Amino acid sequence: MSYSGGEEVVLSLVIPTYNESENLPRLIPQLCELLGGILSDRYELIIVDDDSPDFTWKVAQDLAVNYPRLKVIRRRGEKGLSTAVVRGWQEARGEILGVIDADLQHPPQTLLLLWQEMERGADLAVASRHVEGGGVSDWSLTRRFLSRSAQILALIILPEVVSRVSDPLSGYFLIRRRCLLGKTLNPLGYKILVEVLARGKIRWIGEVGYVFQERQEGKSKVTFKEYVDYIRHLARLRLSLWQESRFFRFAFVGFTGVFVDMFFLFLLSDPTMLALPLTRSKIIAAQLAIVNNFLWNDAWTFGDIAERQPGIRRKIRRFFKFNCICMGGLILNVLLLNIFFNLLGWNRYLANLMAIILVTVWNYWLNLKLNWRTADANKN
């Protein structure tokens, strides 16, 4: 559907639909009246329908004849609320992207409050059921319990993401396009906001209260599969955020070093093996672990920085620095090992593990600050 003229579009509001043919004829006029009042014709509504059996896409196409700001995408062979929203945002031309449900459970007039938040400068404006003026209509206790437990689960798995808003399960919000530039959204199931919070570059979040209404027509598409997808989505985001975190990679490499260290400590010092003195065995085992850790850290943890310092000479210099820093860590490690083992009487392997954990943090920061970062041309 092409728009009259080439006027700029400031807001692109996506409406994911599945079997909403009875709701659209009520929702679209309300949205056009509300948004027309504040944005004239500088907005677009994008319906993304997954080939609804009730021909929602046909109803939407017929509505688009009278509502020129309405665009309709009919997906075939694809299904899913959050991926439908992403698809709509891919087509969107607005500087601000949004999502609202088609079933009028998200009151259209709340858009005005969301828009005010964006005009105040928010990167993300969320319609929340859990702030002043928010709530749900007469939800059953079970649904309240399920919704709250879903939120608590998200808080446990993704605390740094989900704790930023009071209603992370909301499906009603506006986001600045620039916060998502260059980001790949790969959501699962219903919770598009969790994906946006985890992936987006979002500073300022505004929240407005709204009361989640009772559905008048049609029925909720939430099935057990949505709950399973939700948990898979949280787990997938957790893993990917960890992989993005440099310290997690450093700690993971350190973890592999533990096995190298333990293996050679056993081989060298265990009474049933070579039975060499503990300290000498520990120094050799730790040195071999340091070589292992450097190779992995230089290729993976700090790989993006290391590749800006090409050449074997620079690599050897990084290894030398890594070794010196880790030597300091090794001395600290041996000291702690002897304190925990000889002074505190801990089991030798528990003492070694605790010493390694404490030294890992020491090694990370010193290597980041004094090694990879110092030689980094793009140091920021």
Q: Which of 105, 371 has the CB closer to Mn ion? A: 105
Q: Which of 56, 333 has the CB closer to ligand GDD? A: 56
Is the separation of the CB atoms in 149 and 227 below 8 Å? no
269: burial class by Cβ within 10 Å (0-12, 13-18, 19+)?
buried
Mark residues 30-59: x for contact with ligand GDD by CB under 6 A, - for none: ------------------xxx---------
Q: Name residues whose C-beta falls within 8 Å of residue 113's C-beta, 6 or more positions apart in sequence.
A: 125, 127, 208, 210
Residue 285 contact among ligand GDD, Mn ion, none, beta carbon within 5 to 8 Å by kind: none
Bridge partners for 209 per DSSP: 128
Q: Which of 143, 232 has the CB closer to Mn ion? A: 143
Q: Is 19 in the site for Mn ion (CB under 5 A)?
A: no
Instruction: Report the nearest approach of Mn ion to the CB of residue 17 (Å).
Output: 11
Kindly indicate which of the ranges 104-112, 234-242, 268-276, 345-353 contains the residues binding Mn ion, using the contact rule CB under 5 A: 104-112
Instruction: Report the nearest approach of Mn ion to the CB of residue 74 (Å).
Output: 20
Which residues from 70-99 bind ligand GDD, rule CB under 6 A? 79-81, 84
Instruction: Report the nearest approach of Mn ion to the CB of residue 177 (Å).
Output: 26
Instruction: Report the nearest approach of ligand GDD to the CB of residue 341 (Å).
Output: 53
Work out which of 105, 170, 363, 371 binds Mn ion, going by CB under 5 A: 105
Q: Is 103 in the site for Mn ion (CB under 5 A)?
A: yes
Q: Is 103 in the site for ligand GDD (CB under 6 A)?
A: yes
Instruction: Report the nearest approach of ligand GDD to the CB of residue 15 (Å).
Output: 7
Is the separation of the CB atoms in 131 and 98 below 8 Å? no
Kindly indicate which of the ranges 4-12, 15-23, 114-122, 353-361 contains the residues binding ligand GDD, using the contact rule CB under 6 A: 15-23
Instruction: Report the nearest approach of ligand GDD to the CB of residue 16 (Å).
Output: 3
Bridge partners for 175 per DSSP: 97, 124
Kindly indicate which of the ranges 32-40, 166-174, 230-238, 257-265 contains the residues binding ligand GDD, using the contact rule CB under 6 A: 166-174
Instruction: Report the nearest approach of ligand GDD to the CB of residue 56 (Å).
Output: 8
Kindly indicate which of the ranges 36-44, 102-110, 177-185, 322-330 contains the residues binding Mn ion, using the contact rule CB under 5 A: 102-110
216: burial class by Cβ within 10 Å (0-12, 13-18, 19+)?
exposed
Instruction: Report the nearest approach of Mn ion to the CB of residue 101 (Å).
Output: 5
Q: Is 340 in the site for ligand GDD (CB under 6 A)?
A: no
Work out which of 12, 105, 110, 363 binds ligand GDD, going by CB under 6 A: 105
Bridge partners for 228 per DSSP: none
Instruction: Report the nearest approach of ligand GDD to the CB of residue 33 (Å).
Output: 19
Single out the residue of 96, 101, 45 nearest to residue 68, CA to CA.
45
251: burial class by Cβ within 10 Å (0-12, 13-18, 19+)?
middle
Q: Which of 55, 248 has the CB closer to ligand GDD? A: 55
Q: Is 18 in the site for ligand GDD (CB under 6 A)?
A: yes
Q: Is 110 in the site for ligand GDD (CB under 6 A)?
A: no
Which residues sit at the interface with ligand GDD, rule CB under 6 A?
Answer: 16-18, 20, 48-50, 79-81, 84, 101-103, 105, 169-172, 190-191, 212, 220-222
